[in-house]
Chain A
Amino acid sequence: MAVTLLIGISYVVIAFTVAFLLLYAVRHYLLGYSRLRIDQPKDSMELVGFYMPRVTVLIPMHNEERVAADVLQAIVDSDYDWEKLEVIPVNDRSTDKTREIVDGFARLYPFIQPYHRTDGQGGKPAALVEACARATGDILVMFDADYVPGRAVIKMLVAPFADPEIGASMGRVVPHNIGDSLLSGLLSLERSAGYQGVQQSRFNLGFTAQFGGTVGAVRAAALESVGGWNPESLTEDTDLTFALLLSGWKTAYVNRAECYEEVPQSWSVRRRQLSRWVTGHTECLHNYWPDLMQSRFLTRWEKADALFLLAMYWTAPVLVLGWVASLLLFFIPEAHQTPWLPLALAFLGYQLFANQATFLEIGVASMLDGTRIRSLLLPLNLLNFFANTGAICNALRKFYWNKLWGSGGDGWYKTHRTRGTNGGDGFFGGSGAGASVTARSARGLYHARAEGD
């Protein structure tokens, strides 16, 4: 009797696993195929440079002496009009030389207006809340301190705001430290699929892109209308995406607004990053899903997409449940004779079909990006897949445990930076204020000939 019950439960679990993951797999395939289409009706690249509102660039910094000069130098070199630009490096209680570097830049460039925090709640969201109050721009552009934006990125991020429905825009992050470790190489594939594949595809299909908060911009009025940043959230960017969505604002994705980032190169750093994302994301799921389902601003498909996005980390424990159930069935000899062909077919189908779905997205992104060598790393990504599954399950276990017993969760955690550790040279080879300041950039829509050409 007990054995029969166990077999029955195992089959129910497998059926649920198959159904749940097949839904996600279908979504992955649709997004992957959709990305291959030519039509990109919402593409704003043709408007770049024709829409130039006043912009405030916010750069939260906490002990960023290794990378601060790089990001500030990159912004100084950008092709956005200085007259319409304000840069606020938010020095959040740094104890290293971040303050000196930032002040050095501020002395050279009057549009850089540092904000030094010395007390108050810690973490990036809290710092952003205070910095936004000082911003004067119509559009707020956010860069993480370890990101190095290209010269045209600000113009590209701002262009979608010509559409009054756009509350935020999101650029693409590209890992530059791909060869630091196998993990960073594999993460570069993941990032490629996530941005070149999924974000672009979702945006093309009319769904809201996920605001990343790292290479992104937000309309100041829209931010104010939803009550600003949520300082309690571990993923303030995801939180903002859905707060905006609930008020009718959409997030645009600008694939061409590319920016280098540093991905974790050790698993311990990656695990903590993942844990923060899982916690923040799942918190958003609990906070927003009832309102999302009732929102008058969203279509049925948009609601479904939003729910898929918010519940995506649940796929990991469901997958593990499916594995455990299938192993249980293996250990129970009575189960071997159960002629439940359709379920077995579905289970095996999902094992192949569903698990391949995420790899299809990586493949599509690799083809579009032309990253030939890196695409060969795909089989090793299975390891990353297992590693992620475990870390996500663990983070979700902690999240629900804390929720159940009311204990505090993880605090905000800054991802460890490794750039500039060997000798202090930054990305551009300059580590101090004003080092290697390049000539003022051309800002026009026409190509401007340099002297002597």
Chain B
Amino acid sequence: MAFFLFSLFFCALFYLHFSVAHRAWRQIRGRESAELDMGYVRMEDYFGQSFRTKLAGWMKTLPRATNSTAGLRVFDKGNERIFVAGGAQYPAGRKEREILVIEGDFSCGRDCEFEKELMVKGDCAIGQDTQLQALAVDGTLHVGEGARVRRWVDAVKQLTVGADAVVASRATSRTAIEFLPGAQALSLFAPEVYTEGRHEVELQIEVAPSVIVQLPHPDRTAVAANGYDPAKLFSMGGNTYLYDGDLHLTAPVHLRAAFVVRGDFSCPKESLLEADLKAHGAVTIGAASVVKGNIVAGGDIALKPNTYFQGLLHAGGAMRLSRGVRGLRDKLPVAAYAAGVVTMESNVVVNGKVASAHRVVAVSTPVAWLEGARGAAVRG
């Protein structure tokens, strides 16, 4: 009898190891998964727009607080409040702990602090060294020198991210983003993203110089020259070629088919890349080159001065867009993304997105936009 009772105890103990699973199963039984957002579409300015939408909803549904004063409407939202004003100018050093909605223009002095989101329906100027949570502006936005934004900024008109300002997440604008030296952000997206010292230029690029490397080389038995060894070239089919090893060209290249390099790749100035390029290592594109395809690198990507790209850049390491680099094409915006740090020098213009898993940073470089180019400036 004692052993029978012990056996019952043992069975109960053994079942205990399944009991929680059993109970969990009873909760799950008959249910369907709802973990996916089937309506998800990727939008670059999602944060700003989502905040605007939520704010509009709150202001329609939330009760107005009883202690509202003249000229300032206050809405209670759980533990936080929303202050709504027509327009405002904050003096230096002011701290704001509530969500702030300004229906006109707004500006603040230096060293202010905004603990919650800020929405401005007019133009907005943020003072130096001010700290913010997030910022949505329907007009122009100037983020002052050294300001810190913990999350995102979104502007409908021109957005200027001042020198040494930091946006910890995304900066988006429907017009343009000026990204001044020392500024940092996780990603920048606008019809035009540009850095200081912008010049418009006309480049003339020699695409048929006396020495040129045609890739893929038509003759596999040709001798190695200009850093290119035809014996290392293999066809993957589908008009795509693999080069087994590093490829450091000493003459301009004319790339006409999709190309995969199992190593580092570099080409000198005035190269023309009409097809997609992938390198398992680093990619360096010489000055004043034209890149019509996409460039993907397992390591770093460096575009030397005045290079013009029309496709996508994707680096597993860091990326450097040297002075005078242009990224633009018809119909679709371009994108440059690196898992490491993206550095934008002066006079870089990208019509689309520049993003990084770490940070995008603008650096000040001497304006020498003629380097590597045969052309001349049409206007400064």
Q: So, do A and B actually touch in the complex, CB under 8 Å? A: yes
Q: Which residues of A contact B244 (CB under 8 A)?
A: 296
Answer whether A164 and B189 are a contact pair too, CB < 8 Å, given A48-B42, A176-B32, A222-B238. Answer: no
Closest to A372 in B: B24
Is B20 in contact with chain A by the CB < 8 A criterion? Answer: yes
Closest to A449 in B: B49
Q: In the bound complex, what is the Cα–Cα distance between A63 and B39 (angstroms)?
A: 27
Is A391 in contact with chain B by the CB < 8 A criterion? Answer: no
Is A123 in contact with chain B by the CB < 8 A criterion? Answer: no
Q: In the bound complex, what is the Cα–Cα distance between A445 and B296 (angstroms)?
A: 22
Binds B, one of A39-47, A354-362, A429-437: A39-47
Contacting pair A41 B37 (CB below 8 A): no
Q: In the bound complex, what is the Cα–Cα distance between A248 and B314 (angstroms)?
A: 20
Contacting pair A148 B38 (CB below 8 A): yes
Binds B, one of A26-34, A105-113, A178-186: A178-186
Q: Which residues of A contact B187 (CB under 8 A)?
A: 46
Q: In the bound complex, what is the Cα–Cα distance between A73 and B42 (angstroms)?
A: 20
Q: Which residues of B contact A74 (CB under 8 A)?
A: 38
- A101-120 CB mask vs B (1 if < 8 Å, else 0) is 00000000000000000000
Counting chain B CB atoms within 10 Å of each CB, which of A178, A297, A447 scores highest? Answer: A447
Is B357 in contact with chain A by the CB < 8 A criterion? Answer: yes
Contacting pair B28 A79 (CB below 8 A): no
Q: Which residues of B contact A47 (CB under 8 A)?
A: 312, 314, 335, 337
- A222-255 CB mask vs B (1 if < 8 Å, else 0) is 1011100000000000000000000111000000
| Cβ-Cβ contact count across A and B, 8 Å cutoff | 181
Contacting pair A378 B21 (CB below 8 A): yes
Contacting pair B40 A164 (CB below 8 A): no
Answer whether A373 and B28 are a contact pair too, CB < 8 Å, given A50-B312, A162-B296. Answer: yes
- Contacting B at CB under 8 A, from A320-373, are 369, 371, 373
Which label, helix, strand, loop or mixed, suits the secondary structure of the B interface? mixed
Contacting pair B21 A376 (CB below 8 A): yes
Q: Which residues of B contact A374 (CB under 8 A)?
A: 24, 28
Is B352 in contact with chain A by the CB < 8 A criterion? Answer: yes
How many residues on B have C-beta within 8 angstroms of the other chain's C-beta atoms?
A: 68
Contacting pair B332 A188 (CB below 8 A): no
Contacting pair B31 A46 (CB below 8 A): no
Is B259 in contact with chain A by the CB < 8 A criterion? Answer: yes
Contacting pair A178 B189 (CB below 8 A): no
Q: Could you list 24 A-B pairs, sorted by A, with CB under 8 Å?
A: A39-B357, A41-B317, A41-B357, A74-B38, A151-B38, A151-B40, A152-B41, A156-B42, A162-B311, A162-B312, A164-B276, A164-B278, A165-B296, A178-B31, A178-B32, A206-B298, A225-B236, A260-B36, A373-B27, A374-B28, A377-B28, A445-B44, A446-B43, A447-B46
A interface residue numbers (CB < 8 A to B):
39-52, 74, 79, 148, 150-152, 155-156, 162-165, 167, 174-179, 182, 185, 188, 206, 219, 221-222, 224-226, 247-249, 258, 260, 296-297, 369, 371, 373-374, 376-380, 441-442, 444-447, 449, 453
